[in-house]
């Protein structure tokens, strides 16, 4: 574990996962510029973003989580885990009948998107190191070509797989609505203006916004 994270501690859910080396520095800077964010950071002292370093798994979870609540996404994911015995591979989803996937709760559209990313990963033989040395702009340009992947999904991938430090998902309804509630903002312009003070650590601030919404840390 990086020394910069030793002050925070690594929760059990993050053990054996890749951790961002900027976390402690980011928390200190955010706390200096945003008193409400400082309160959130103090409220969840052992929370830290982490990555499985499994690009297919992370992208699949992001697809599953599109436009539904975290609770609904977790429930659907649990059914998938039981159904496929934790075999999250492109090959598995390519050979599984679409109607069977729908019976687990996936919409027709999400079945299509799941098949699309499975085909992409299978055809290119993408492994866990495929995106390792690519920039965030290179990753975004590549993923956005896959039908079913939009800006929000790419941003989730950059946060939860690549651990990019400065991602603000402006289309994430949970983040936007929570900022309105916590900060008393009434418009998106106010939210975007405020988020500028979080740079270059927007990812960390967003993580704590998410953390305030759910009993368990968000994992992709």
pLDDT in tens, 37-67: 999 999 998 889 999 999 999 999 999 988 7
* Same domain membership, residue 145 and residue 66: yes
**Count of CB atoms within 10 A of residue 28's CB?**
13
Number of domains the chain contains? 2
* Same domain membership, residue 196 and residue 121: no
The answer on pLDDT for 2 being more than 50 is no
* Same domain membership, residue 183 and residue 119: no
**Mean of the pLDDT values across residues 113-134?**
94
Report the CATH number that the domain containing residue 78 is assigned in CATH: 1.10.340.30
**Global pTM?**
0.89
Mean pLDDT of the chain, nearest integer: 90
Report the CATH number that the domain containing residue 16 is assigned in CATH: 1.10.1670.40
What's the CA gap between 70 and 75, in Å, rounded? Answer: 9
* Same domain membership, residue 208 and residue 154: no
Token pair of 149, please?
A: 């992947």
Bigger pLDDT: 134 or 88?
134
pLDDT in tens, 173-190: 999 999 999 999 999 999
**Mean of the pLDDT values across residues 93-118?**
94
The answer on pLDDT for 13 being more than 70 is no
Domain containing 60 equals 55-160
| pLDDT of res. 189 | 97
* Same domain membership, residue 9 and residue 32: yes
Residue 170, SS3 per DSSP = coil
Residue 68 included in any domain: yes
- Check if the beta carbon of residue 158 is closer than 8 Å to that of residue 167: yes
Residue 219 included in any domain: no
* Same domain membership, residue 67 and residue 27: no
CA nearest to 57, candidates 13, 117, 132: 117
Percent of the chain residues past pLDDT 90, beyond the cut:
74
* Same domain membership, residue 142 and residue 94: yes
* Same domain membership, residue 88 and residue 135: yes
């Amino acid at each position: 574990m990086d020394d910069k994270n030793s002050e925070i501690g690594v929760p059990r859910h993050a053990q054996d996962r890749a951790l961002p080396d900027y976390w402690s520095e980011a928390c200190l800077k955010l706390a200096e510029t945003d008193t409400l964010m400082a309160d959130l950071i103090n409220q969840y002292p052992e929370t830290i973003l982490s990555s499985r370093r499994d690009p297919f798994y992370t992208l699949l979870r992001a697809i599953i989580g599109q436009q539904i609540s975290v609770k609904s996404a977790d429930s659907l994911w649990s059914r998938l885990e039981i159904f496929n015995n934790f075999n999250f591979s492109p090959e598995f989803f390519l050979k599984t009948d679409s109607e069977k996937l729908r019976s687990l709760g996936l919409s027709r559209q999400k079945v299509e998107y799941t098949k699309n990313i499975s085909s992409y990963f299978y055809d290119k033989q993408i492994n866990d190191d495929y995106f390792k040395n690519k920039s965030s702009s290179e990753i975004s340009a590549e993923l956005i070509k896959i039908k079913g992947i939009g800006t929000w999904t790419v941003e989730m991938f950059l946060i939860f797989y690549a651990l990019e430090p400065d991602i603000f998902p402006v289309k994430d309804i949970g983040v936007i609505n929570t900022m309105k509630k916590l900060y008393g903002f009434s418009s998106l312009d106010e939210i975007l203006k405020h988020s500028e003070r979080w740079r270059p650590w927007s990812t960390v601030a967003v993580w704590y916004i998410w953390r305030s919404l759910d009993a368990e840390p968000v994992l992709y």
